[in-house]
Amino acid sequence: MRRNFRLMPRRILAVDRDGLRLGSIILICLFLSAIWPGYLVPYSNSVAVSAEKISIFAANCVTPKTSFDVGERVCVVALGAPRSSPENNYPQRRFQWVAPDGAIERQTSITSGAQRDVFTIPKPGQVGTWMVKTVDNSNGGFAAARFVVRDPANAAVDLSVNVFGPSETATSKNVNYTLQVNNNGPDNAQNVRLTNPTPEGATFISIKQDTGPAFTCANPAGKTVCSLASLDRGVAATFTVVYQIKAGTPDESCVSNTAEVSNSVTELHAPDNTSTAITTVQSGCAVGCPPDITRSSDFGKAGAIVNYSEPTASADICNPMVCQPESGSFFPVGVTTVVCGGQSGAPCSFTVNITRAFTMKLNGPDPLTVECQTAFDDPGATAQDVSGRNIPVTSSGPINMNKRGSYTITYLAGEGANTAAVTRTVNVVDTAAPAITLNGANPLMVEHSKAYTDPGVTAKDACAGIVPVITAGQVDVNRLGTYTITYTAGDGVDVSTARRGGRVVDTTAPFINCPANIEVTAAPGERAVVVNFTASARDSVSDVKMTSDPPSGSAFPIGTTWVTVTATDAAGNAARCPFSVTVINPARR
């Protein structure tokens, strides 16, 4: 059996003596509501709680069907249920047939050969909503489906009623309750009668039907009665009944509104034919206003737009709260009284005082960000009286545009005994990194084996001035190649980097040594003589390639021939020297 009680959400109250007393009353009301029967959740035709699925069919396992008579055969087909293990034929799922009263009428293992089961509904047997589901060996359910069973010779229904209402109300206030009647089947209900006696401490105001087939309703002798000849299976009807809480009803008492439904057909589940809603009566609400407000008028206006915090309320029955004038309204110069009140209880009030002092505002952004070493253009401030007349404004607070930092400018204005001041923050920033200037050539050529001297750089920042430089990298003068020197300079915020290329080169020609001039005498009758000679050269960096024109071992003719010897190093540097080869004709001696 299920019990029905309903509490609408409410504002959490501070835990004080009154709150504890109210909490005790609510607990008593909850206890009272629990002794009235609740309602049964209406069934749906199919429920899937996993990837598995069950479908209901007629006995042929082909034709879908969800309504049966006692004595009929029902076929159930499961999809996606794991079958037994092929090693040990151990079933992992069972079909479980559950009667309307919760009794398990049959269980059948799902084997590798079939995922269906056929069940004959007992005759005579239970009517109402049956359920068949797949369960594992721990009796855990995975998929379920429902079907309705009727006994054509013995009609039966499961009627239910629910009553919904507010958890709190106040004396002399109208309260709306919702009554809901459901026919959960399996047959149509006949001569349906909904009874709702007027609660103690309340007066009947009205009733209207909201949904469902049209009932006939009346309120004779303090009892609301609604009648209908027939209510089909699966059909519901809802009503709104209004009661007024009587003046003088004791504070923090409980008003119990109970409804009952009946019919002339056999009732399968009587406990949910009655339902009760409990409403706590409170004496009213205590409203708390925000404190008084005093402020000057808006810029150039004879008043100001004022936003204030919402008033506080001791209970939900105060809502909705209303204040006049509303928050966000324009309040004229002078004192305005704001009154706030709820649905019951005494209102509260506070004042909004708008003075006639002149007003000031900053022109432009605040804070204001400017770049170091630039010209500063102060946007200033403006002061006006309530008539819109401008008042002179002075400013103070120098700004050093050559130094990073945060500065404050104060703007002052005065009119008679009234003075006003506003301030602006100016942030001088340096978003530009230092500028690095390379001294000397880039790239810089360095002779092999000669001393290397870095010509250096100069780094200057707009705010910090000359800043130190960190140098990284080196040049190996004993090894030909290209090198990189990196220079880094920072101003504490931003960092700049510059690079210089250094090339170690060889531009010196080899040292060459030619032989002395050569004289030879030709043999009688010879016209030329083969002459061999040797020249030498050396280089401090690389090997030297020697060539001569004419080459050694050439045949030199009678007379004088000049020979040029060339020595070339790996860098292409060349040195040359000449010498002569003279061949003497013996016939002329």
* Nearest residue to 485 via CA among 439, 419, 425, 549: 439
The DSSP secondary structure of 401-466, one letter per residue, reads TTS-EEEEEEEEEEETTEEEEEEEEEEEE--SPPEEEE-S-SSEEEETTSPP----EEEEETTTEE
User: Does pLDDT of 40 surpass 50?
Assistant: no
Peptide bond into 550 cis (omega under 30): yes
For residue 353, count other CB atoms closer than 10 A to its CB: 15
User: Does pLDDT of 52 surpass 60?
Assistant: yes
Please tell me what DSSP assigns to residue 92: -
CATH topology of domain 17-35+155-282: Immunoglobulin-like (2.60.40)
323-348 per-position pLDDT tens digit? 999 999 999 888 999 998 876 666 88
Give 245's pLDDT tier (boundaries 50, 70, 90): confident
Which pLDDT score is estimated for 44?
Answer: 34
Q: Mean pLDDT across the chain, nearest whole number?
A: 85
Give 50's pLDDT tier (boundaries 50, 70, 90): low
Q: Is the dihedral of CA 457, 462, 466, 468 positive or negative?
A: negative
Mean pLDDT on 295-312: 84
3-state helix, strand, coil in the chain (%, to 5): 5, 50, 45
Tell me the two tokens of residue 346.
Answer: 């005494």
Q: Which CATH class is domain 511-588?
A: mainly beta
User: Does pLDDT of 12 surpass 60?
Assistant: no
Q: How far apart are CA 488 and CA 477, in angstroms?
A: 23
* Range of lowest pLDDT (130-144, 304-318, 502-516): 304-318
Give 4's pLDDT tier (boundaries 50, 70, 90): very low
Which pLDDT score is estimated for 45?
Answer: 39
Residues paired with 312 in a beta bridge: 288
Domains in the chain: boundaries: 17-35+155-282, 46-150, 287-355, 362-425, 435-505, 511-588
Mark residue 190 as left, alpha or beta (left: phi above 0; alpha: psi -120 to 50; beta: remaining): beta
Characterize the bridge pairing of strands 444-447 and 495-505: parallel
Q: How far is CA 140 from CA 1, 44, 47, 570, in A?
A: 23, 20, 15, 90
Which pLDDT score is estimated for 19?
Answer: 43
Which pLDDT score is estimated for 509?
Answer: 93
261-294 per-position pLDDT tens digit? 999 999 988 999 999 999 988 766 678 899 999 9
Residues paired with 381 in a beta bridge: 362
Characterize the bridge pairing of strands 67-69 and 141-150: parallel
Which pLDDT score is estimated for 574?
Answer: 95
HSE-CB for 551 with a 13 A CA cutoff: 3
Which pLDDT score is estimated for 220?
Answer: 84
For residue 379, count other CB atoms closer than 10 A to its CB: 13
- The amino acid present at 438, given as its one-letter code, is L
Give 177's pLDDT tier (boundaries 50, 70, 90): very high
Q: Is the dihedral of CA 309, 315, 319, 321 positive or negative?
A: negative
User: Does pLDDT of 573 surpass 80?
Assistant: yes
**Residues 120/123/125/128 CA torsion (nearest 10 deg):** 70
Q: How far apart are CA 252 and CA 245, in angstroms?
A: 13
Q: How far apart are CA 473 and CA 454, in angstroms?
A: 11
Q: How far apart are CA 175 and CA 241, in angstroms?
A: 8
Interacting residues of 236 by C-beta distance below 8 A, sequence separation 6+: 42, 180, 181, 182, 183, 211, 212
Mark residue 62 as left, alpha or beta (left: phi above 0; alpha: psi -120 to 50; beta: remaining): alpha
Phi then psi for residue 347, to 5 deg, are -75, 170
> ∠ at Cα 350 (346, 352), nearest 5°?
155
User: Does pLDDT of 387 surpass 80?
Assistant: no
The DSSP secondary structure of 151-191, one letter per residue, reads -TTS-EEEEEEEEE--SEEETT-EEEEEEEEEEEEES-EEE
For the chain, what percent of residues have pLDDT higher than 90?
55
Whole-model pTM? Answer: 0.42
Which pLDDT score is estimated for 503?
Answer: 93
- The amino acid present at 296, given as its one-letter code, is S
Which pLDDT score is estimated for 25?
Answer: 46
Which pLDDT score is estimated for 317?
Answer: 64
Which pLDDT score is estimated for 46?
Answer: 39
Give the E-state strand segments of 187-272 in sequence order: 189-197, 202-211, 216-218, 223-231, 236-245, 254-262, 266-267
Q: Pick the residue with more confidence: 519 or 462?
A: 519
Q: How far apart are CA 65 and CA 61, in angstroms?
A: 9
Q: How far apart are CA 392 and CA 357, in angstroms?
A: 15
User: Does pLDDT of 13 surpass 60?
Assistant: no
Is 283 within 8 Å of 251 (Cβ atoms)?
A: yes
Which pLDDT score is estimated for 345?
Answer: 61
* Nearest residue to 97 via CA among 75, 82, 81, 113: 75
Which pLDDT score is estimated for 528?
Answer: 94
CATH topology of domain 46-150: Immunoglobulin-like (2.60.40)
User: Does pLDDT of 180 surpass 80?
Assistant: yes
Same fold, 46-150 and 435-505: yes
Please tell me what DSSP assigns to residue 44: -
Say whether domain 435-505 belongs to CATH 2.60.40.10: yes
User: Does pLDDT of 404 surpass 50?
Assistant: yes
Tell me the two tokens of residue 356.
Answer: 């006639």
